[in-house]
Structure 1
Amino acid sequence: MAYLLSYMRRFLPALLLPALLLLVPCSGWAAAGGTIVVGGDHNYPPYEFIDKDGHPAGFNVDLTRAIAEVMGMTVEIRLGRWEEMRRALQTGEVDILQGMVQADVRAKDYEFSPPHSIINQSVFARRGTKPVRDLNDLKGKDVLVQNGGMMHDYLLEKNIGARIFPVDTHVDALRQLAAGKHDYALVGNLPGLYLSREFGLSNIVPVGRLFAGQPYAYAVKRGNDQILSQFSEGLTILKNTGRYEKIHDKWLGALEPSPVSWRKIVTYAAITALPLLLLLSAIGYINRTLKKEIAHRTREMQLQQQQLIQADKMASLGILVSGIAHEINNPTGLLLYNLPVLKKIFRSAEEHLEERFRQEGDFMIGGLRYSQFREDIPLLIDEMQDGATRIKRIVEDLKDFARKDTSEMDQSVLLNDVVRAALRLVDNSIRKTTGNVVTNLADGLPAVRGNAQRIEQVVVNLILNACQALPDPSKGIVLTTGYDPERKEVLLLVRDEGVGIPKEDLSRIADPFFTTKRETGGTGLGLSVSASIIKEHEGTMIFESRPGEGTTVRVALPALQGA
């Protein structure tokens, strides 16, 4: 007896181990630590497909990866032709299919998890085709189906008399149908709509839905229930944690029609039952619209009033300038007449004064020694004459600027002359602002047709704006003229090194009464008037600016024909 027990202890483990191995299913080893191969259709969007980068994508793919994560499994997803994937499941090359329609015709070969989706099958046809009410309407017709798909299996089982044309994918069926081949395509409703939109197959539409929603689930070869139970458990976890809903909404939410909730039904009923509420809402809307319109009209009237006031101010300023210019011109004319006479008298007396200097040596005259007097007096007379000449020129420019414009737009204007006149007019403002003004006036510019006075007004406004934009005297202004032969335009560029214009203000810079210098007396009319003048001359004025880097104004005027 002791010998028998010893024998059993030695050889029983060796005898039991093979028996235990026979009891463990092969799939159990994959689930325990190996890689589970998950198969699917390579062209069944939005459920499963190969994306443009060659990677598996779609609702089924994301769902499989999420289940593998929560269950601690390692999976390999393989997508290919559907009939090949079904064959691979039977041969054991694939452990589980991540999406298959569950039906009685497949029950003898497959086991299914709880459904993760509902598939509706539809009949697609070219526009204008008579609707299909039931399967009998397909009798004698050419029907496209996916090879090995649910509808292929179903039509073979029912044998309704349709001529069946299997193709590899849903998109193949829809493309052939759109190209005029065969009569119908029997495919999944959602994939059919998705692919029709994706590939622009606008001439095909659903003409009948022959099946109610069919369960769409994970499927394994019958007998391989251990892997199936793991995927079923993972699917339950995803649904309970809300993660399933996120994946569903990502791929299917925008395509599936959203159901009408009871809350919406009650809301619509309440609106229908209370027409008075609609009437009151309409009255309220009209009231608000009228208030907005009144406020808008009020702002327009205020703006027009401000424009009239400003126009009156400008007219008064013109009259005032004309009067002052006349009064200044009278004494200036006397200076310009008398200073040459005075210089001539000095030259006449200079000979006698020199003779006395030679005889007596240096002597006092008018509080100065003659040696200094003879050097300084001619210079003083010349400076006074130059100053008087400059006063006369500035007054003339000011009179031209303030004179009421009654001339037609028929003058031949040289832009360089206008720029020089504008610089003389605002010379005092420039001197107070900066000592760094550069002019690059191109030679031989053609003339432009228009009004010299009004163009000068534009240049003056642009120079003054540039001066006001400079943060300190070290910054400068550059005025450049040129010619664009392609567009036949004469150009003026006024560039400053100022503070620049914010992006949000750049589009409004030429609007009437828009100004960023209101606190320093700005009216916001200068650039608006300038833009109007350039438009009258059939030209353009463009602003380019960056805050902190300055502003460039580009004025383009059409060259005079033949100039």
Structure 2
Amino acid sequence: MKKLKVMAAAVCALALAACMLAGCSSNNASNDKKDAAATSSDKTTLIVGFDQSYPPYGFVGNDGNFTGFDLDLAAEVASRNGWDIQLEPIDWDAKDTLLNSGAITCIWNGFTMEGRENDYTFSDPYMLNAQVIVVKKGSGIESLADLAGKNVLTQTDSAAYDVLAGDEATKADLKATFASLDTIGEYNTAFMQLESGAVDAVACDLSIAQYQMSAKPDAYVQLPEDLSDEHYAVGVKKGNTELADAITKTLKEMNEDGTVEKLCEKYAEYGLSYTNWILK
């Protein structure tokens, strides 16, 4: 009987040990799953802030979805780096607040870098740009000098506005000849006002001018003198060189394998040209 009791006790002890080991194994497996989930949730998300009324770089397509050259570039960069992507249409006036708060991780939308170098960390510039003046065909305005006494319109907080009236305006003397220089939230409405005769000229990026003239070749003409020559780059939060460098590196790879040229061809009907691409 004593032997039986000893054997029973031993069996119980072994069973208890087995249960404890199984519990430990289960807990370890559970912890491993939690760690894996945490790693997965830490995946980088590229939140692209853009003006949805800025064709051909970012706009609402005929199907109601966001499209554009810069948005396609961003999607491909995210894919090649294993990042998720989120397209976030923004109020252009609020872009700095959104970027600094982390609501967006980059501004990628025909974004001129000149004059903004102290406010953002930029990728290497990828596209040539210029600030230009567009007028109605047949208006009699044929040069910058002809803008004297005229009403000019541009986008709020745009590079064109900075050239004409910003803190370091390079064309302040020209602006002084205007009857007025007003701003508006987005360029599509600006060109509607130009077409209706509510304003005499629109100051804008070359890409915007090319798009509008392609859409309505009999309505508008660009003045032969540019206001300034500039470059487009991707703006990220000041100090985030790791993200800016990763974007630059991937854009170079995309140019080398022909992806960039194909995207330029996709938007050629909007006036976009691969000859303006400068990042090699």
TM-score, L = length of structure 1: 0.37
Shift of 1:203: 3.1
Q: Which residue, 114, 136, 147 being the options, matches 2:156?
A: 147
Distance of 2:140 and 2:159 partners within structure 1:
24
Greater fraction of residues in helix = 1
| Secondary structure of the corresponding residue to residue 93 of structure 1 | coil
| Secondary structure of the corresponding residue to residue 154 of structure 1 | helix
Distance of 1:230 and 1:209 partners within structure 2:
36
The 8 Å contact of residues 144 and 184 in structure 1, kept in 2 or not, is answered as: yes
The 8 Å contact of residues 146 and 170 in structure 1, kept in 2 or not, is answered as: yes
The 8 Å contact of residues 122 and 206 in structure 1, kept in 2 or not, is answered as: yes
Letter aligned with residue 211 of structure 2: Y
CA 1:241–1:254 in structure 2 vs 1: closer, same or farther (change >3 Å)? same
Distance of 1:228 and 1:218 partners within structure 2:
7
1:181 partnered with 2:198: yes
Q: Which residue, 107, 116, 122 being the options, matches 2:117?
A: 107
| Secondary structure of the corresponding residue to residue 62 of structure 2 | coil
Residue 165 of structure 2 is matched in structure 1 by 156
Q: Which residue, 154, 158, 183 being the options, matches 1:166?
A: 183
**1:539-562 CA distances to partner (integer Å, 9 max, x unpaired)?**
xxxxxxxxxxxxxxxxxxxxxxxx
CA 1:86–1:196 in structure 2 vs 1: closer, same or farther (change >3 Å)? farther
Shift of 1:91: 3.4
CA 1:52–1:145 in structure 2 vs 1: closer, same or farther (change >3 Å)? same
Greater relative contact order (CA < 8 Å, ≥ 6 in sequence): 2
Letter aligned with residue 256 of structure 2: N
The 8 Å contact of residues 174 and 185 in structure 1, kept in 2 or not, is answered as: yes
The 8 Å contact of residues 238 and 244 in structure 1, kept in 2 or not, is answered as: yes
1:70 partnered with 2:86: no
Residue 13 of structure 2 is matched in structure 1 by none
1:50 partnered with 2:60: yes
Q: Spell out the pairing of 1:371-386 with structure 2 (5 A cutoff).
A: none
Q: Could you say what the CA RMSD is over the residues aligned between the two structures, in angstroms?
A: 2.8
Distance of 1:221 and 1:124 partners within structure 2:
33
| Secondary structure of the corresponding residue to residue 271 of structure 2 | coil
Shift of 1:40: 0.9
Distance of 1:185 and 1:52 partners within structure 2:
25
Q: Spell out the pairing of 1:417-432 with structure 2 (5 A cutoff).
A: none
Residue 259 of structure 2 is matched in structure 1 by 243
1:193 partnered with 2:210: yes
Shift of 1:61: 0.8
The 8 Å contact of residues 50 and 107 in structure 2, kept in 1 or not, is answered as: yes
CA 1:121–1:230 in structure 2 vs 1: closer, same or farther (change >3 Å)? same
Residue 225 of structure 1 is matched in structure 2 by 241
**1:15-39 CA distances to partner (integer Å, 9 max, x unpaired)?**
xxxxxxxxxxxxxx9x962322111
Letter aligned with residue 165 of structure 1: D
Distance of 2:49 and 2:130 partners within structure 1:
22
Residue 81 of structure 1 is matched in structure 2 by 91
Residue 344 of structure 1 is matched in structure 2 by none
The 8 Å contact of residues 42 and 81 in structure 1, kept in 2 or not, is answered as: no
CA 1:258–1:92 in structure 2 vs 1: closer, same or farther (change >3 Å)? closer
Shift of 1:212: 5.3
Residue 207 of structure 1 is matched in structure 2 by 223
The 8 Å contact of residues 152 and 203 in structure 2, kept in 1 or not, is answered as: yes
| Secondary structure of the corresponding residue to residue 226 of structure 2 | coil
CA 1:36–1:257 in structure 2 vs 1: closer, same or farther (change >3 Å)? closer
Q: Spell out the pairing of 1:435-514 with structure 2 (5 A cutoff).
A: none
Distance of 1:185 and 1:45 partners within structure 2:
16
CA 1:152–1:92 in structure 2 vs 1: closer, same or farther (change >3 Å)? farther
Shift of 1:126: 1.9
Shift of 1:115: 1.9
Higher Rg of the two aligned structures: 1
What percentage of aligned pairs have identical amino acids? 24
The 8 Å contact of residues 120 and 211 in structure 1, kept in 2 or not, is answered as: yes
| Secondary structure of the corresponding residue to residue 46 of structure 2 | strand
Letter aligned with residue 117 of structure 1: M
**1:94-133 CA distances to partner (integer Å, 9 max, x unpaired)?**
1101131121x21221222122222233211122234454
- Count residues with an aligned counterpart: 228
Q: Which residue, 216, 219, 232 being the options, matches 1:216?
A: 232
Letter aligned with residue 199 of structure 2: H
TM-score, L = length of structure 2: 0.71
The 8 Å contact of residues 130 and 205 in structure 2, kept in 1 or not, is answered as: yes
- 5+ residue gaps, structure 2: 1-38, 276-280
Q: Which residue, 37, 46, 50 being the options, matches 1:40?
A: 50
| Secondary structure of the corresponding residue to residue 49 of structure 1 | strand
- 5+ residue gaps, structure 1: 1-28, 260-563
Letter aligned with residue 101 of structure 1: T
